[in-house]
Structure 1
Amino acid sequence: MKCCGHARLNGSRYARLNGSRYARLKGSRYARLKGSRYMTITEQELTSLAASHDIISLGAIADGLRRQRHGTNATFVRVAEIAADPSAPIAIAPAAGEARIVGAPPTRAAAADRVAQVAASANGVAVSGFSLADLEELAAREGVTLRALLEQLRAAGLEIVSEAPIDRLRDARRSIEEVNIAGLALARVTIHQPQSTDPMSQLKTVAELQRAVAVIRAFAPLPRRVNPAVPTTGYEDIRRVALARIVADNVPSIQVDWSLYGPKLAQVALTVGADDVDGVSADDDVSQGYRRSPLEEIRRNIHAAGYEPVQRTGRWDVLRAVDELTTQDERSR
């Protein structure tokens, strides 16, 4: 049976590429579909995959799993970033699908005030903000529970906590559960800084966390910060994305940050397991020509990767197909 044009399930084999086997894994099926769910692979099989340097075959396996979940759609969200400083200006472009407050608030009163300011200007756009790790620290510093702080922010107008860096959280399971109990959504689980060149430990931690909380919608496996003395390579980044799709098979979406990692790496990541692009600019700057505008650039990059671009909001509501929006915009000019 063909799968995605370059990988197929055949008896006990998955990903038989160009007639040669990859990861037959001692006769057992790898990622065999049972109904609509994936079977869990063994620790030995994961170890074998993690040790492989065949990035082409590894990426093909991850892409096959990604297409089983999402077909040919690749979603993206356009974000208006707003500083947490209450004195900073608030600008939310009409094209924004999410108004995101960035930075660590100095006090909970300042955090609530800033949320209220942004919510008043959002005009229906989803308001997100803050790192859950920063909120943990703020709650501890001010002597209140994390839930009380989250409920205060929700009352001020916050809908979504922007990120949960799993390697910075004091108690990841409890803190994420508190987000859910407080009536907020969590945009993504992230990795603040890689522990080593071997990503498996962190990826397994995310999968185990999802089994416990079952509310993680997206996982961004590429680190938010990298040691400048030991930067990651493109090979390591792509390998991490592919392994994330394979290991964290219970997380719906694997995400890559457009603003942090750039269009080129984001495009390649879509071919090895990623299905969602975060952080696309909401500003429709056409000063360098329409083809250089953010919407047209993300559309072209997703198409070039072999997928259909679908714009979403911070609430994960899907907007109309990007090609339809682009055609209408071109007609209006």
Structure 2
Amino acid sequence: MVDVLSNDLIELGKEANRIKEEKWGKKVFFVKNIHLNYTNICLNKCKFCAFAKDEGDDDSYSMDLSEIVKYIGDKGEDAKEIHIVGGLHPHHSFEYYLDMVKAIKENFPEKAVKAFSAVEIDYFSKISDLPVNEVLKRLKKAGLDMMPGGGAEIFASAVRRQICPEKISGERWLEVMEIAHKEGIKSNATMLYGHLESMDDILDHLEKLRDLQDKTGGFVAFIPLSFHPENTFLNHMKPATGVEDLRIIALSRIVLDNIPHIKAYWVMLGEKTAQVALKFGADDLDGTIVKENITHSAGAKSKEGLTLEELVYLIKSANLIPVERDSFYNEIRSY
């Protein structure tokens, strides 16, 4: 195997692409999905976040259940998946989140609900005085199908204390995910890079994910997230370059040999870099993603959603096969 720390980006990419094609051939997956960021009011003050607001800020918001149902009906008629994450609201009870999932499932039973990061689940446990496994059981009964992978950021404690000191630890994130997997809830996993982390921190993060995957098999996909510094407390930093983005994608595919899918998250990478990443180990472009607010708050220049036709064009013009999927990678249609 090529040295994962090799300075030769092309060789790294070739190895990652070889592994990807052994698993999936020329297929590239995507899903019709809608993002629901139900509130930007958050108790945590992560330095890398441009989305979170204090209650009472002019641009703060929190959606009630009727607004959530209307939003999905208006924006996500064709969506197969509803991706839900939000801030840690200081006044919502756990019942609010249960009622949210129930209302969505009652109104849109055909759509998969992929909701609440490990950070949110830990918070629900605190405000409900219930253990994490009971929180997850109740959410699953309400209609939760899957969990997103957010909140992992970088596991290295020294860096984590600098960028998100109020967030749960990396160890706690892994613990919550292990419990979710044991409860039969599949999830994604993420890593935020391009801020204060070192290459050793990146490798440590990937190895911890690989170890948990060996234990539970519950991760469906891994999404490397390229940090956007604009409008954050770290706005003095420069964003990752395209070369760095491609290196991390390739490295992820090589190290995480036991996680089936690697996503090129076009919202953070931009459409063109995400397309090139399909030759560097990524096999998934995520989806239509209507409408993501968190990254765009930090200055992302990508579109606020792609059409099915645009996704198909990106994939086909890379000489690859577009495959529409559901949340669990069951294939719906090839284009």
Paired AA for residue 156 in structure 1: A
Output one character per residue of 1:146-168: Cα deviation in whole Å (capped at 9) or x when no partner: 11111111121111112254335
Alpha carbons 1:254, 1:274 under 8 Å: kept: yes
Aligned position for 1:171: 172
Alignment of 1:59-70 (within 5 A): 59-70=13-24
Say which of 221, 235, 239 aligns to 1:228. Answer: 235
Query: Could you say if the C-alpha distance between residues 308 and 256 of structure 1 is closer, same or farther in structure 2, counting changes exceeding 3 Å?
Result: same
- State the alpha-carbon separation in 2 of the partners of residues 137 and 170 from structure 1: 15
Distance 1:244 1:293, change over 3 A: closer
Pick one of 234, 246, 259 that aligns with 1:251: 259
Give the structure 1 partner of residue 4 of structure 2: 49
Query: Structure 1: which 5+ residue stretches go unaligned?
Result: 1-29, 31-44, 284-291, 324-333
Q: Secondary structure at the match of 1:110?
A: helix
Residue pair 2:226, 2:268 contacting (<8 A) in 1 also: no
1:163-217 superposed Cα distances (whole Å, 9 cap, x missing partner): 254335443443223213333221x101245552423222222222212222211
SS at match of 2:71: coil
Q: Aligned equivalents of 2:264 and 2:142: distance in 1? A: 29
Matched with 1:315 is: 328
Which of 200, 225, 236 is the equivalent residue of 2:203? Answer: 200
Alpha-carbon distance in structure 1 between the residues aligned to 2:4 and 2:243: 15
Query: Partner of 1:213 in structure 2?
Result: 216
Q: Provide, for residues 256-279 of structure 1, a one-character-per-residue CA deviation record: whole Å limited to 9, x for no partner.
A: 223333211210111100001214
- Decide which moves more: 160-169 or 203-212: 160-169
Equivalent residue runs for 1:64-79 within 5 Å:
64-79=18-33
CA distance in 1, matches of 2:183, 2:319: 39
Distance 1:124 1:259 in 2: 25
Gap change, CA 1:197 and 1:162, over 3 Å in 2: same
Identity of aligned residues (%): 27
CA-CA distance at 1:223 after TM superposition: 4.1
Judge conservation of contact 2:117–2:147 (CA < 8 Å) in 1.
Answer: yes
Counterparts in 2 of 1:299 and 1:314: CA distance versus 1, 3 Å: same
For residues 1-333 of structure 1, the aligned pairs below 5 Å read 30=1, 48-50=3-5, 52-84=6-38, 85-87=63-65, 88=67, 89-92=70-73, 93-104=76-87, 106=89, 107-166=93-152, 167=155, 168-186=169-187, 188-192=188-192, 196-198=197-199, 199-223=202-226, 227-230=234-237, 231-281=239-289, 294-321=307-334, 323=335
How far apart, CA to CA, are the structure 2 residues paired with 1:293 and 1:174? 34
Larger Rg: 1
For the structure 1 residues 238 and 301, does the alpha-carbon distance in structure 2 shift closer, same or farther, using more than 3 Å as the test?
same
Q: How far 1:111 moved relative to its partner?
A: 0.8
Counterpart code for 1:183: G
Q: Partners in 2 of 1:279 and 1:142 — Cα distance? A: 33
Distance 1:115 1:293, change over 3 A: closer
Deviations 1:10-36 (CA, angstroms, capped at 9, x unpaired): xxxxxxxxxxxxxxxxxxxx2xxxxxx
Higher fraction of strand: 1
CA-to-aligned-CA distance 1:66-85 (integer Å, 9 cap, x gap)? 10110010001121122433
The 1-side partners of 2:331 and 2:315 are apart by 16
What CA distance in whole angstroms lies between the structure 2 residues aligned with 1:160 and 1:97?
13
Over 3 Å counting, the alpha-carbon distance change for 1:155 and 1:115 in structure 2 is same
Shift of 1:95: 2.4
Q: TM-score, normalized by length of structure 1? A: 0.73
The answer to whether the 8 A contact 2:263-2:286 is kept is yes
Quote the RMSD (CA, aligned, Å): 2.3
Tell me the amino acid that sits aligned with residue 145 of structure 2.
Answer: E
Aligned residues of 2:264 and 2:286 also touching (Cα < 8 A): yes
Distance change >3 Å, CA 224–CA 98, structure 1 → 2: farther
> What is the aligned length?
267
For the residue of structure 2 that corresponds to 1:320, the secondary structure is strand
- Compared CA separation, residues 266 and 308, structure 1 to 2 (3 A): same
Q: Which runs of 5+ in 2 are unaligned?
A: 39-62, 156-168, 292-304
**Partner amino acid, structure 2, of 1:201:** D
Q: Which has the higher contact order (CA 8 A, sep 6+)?
A: 2
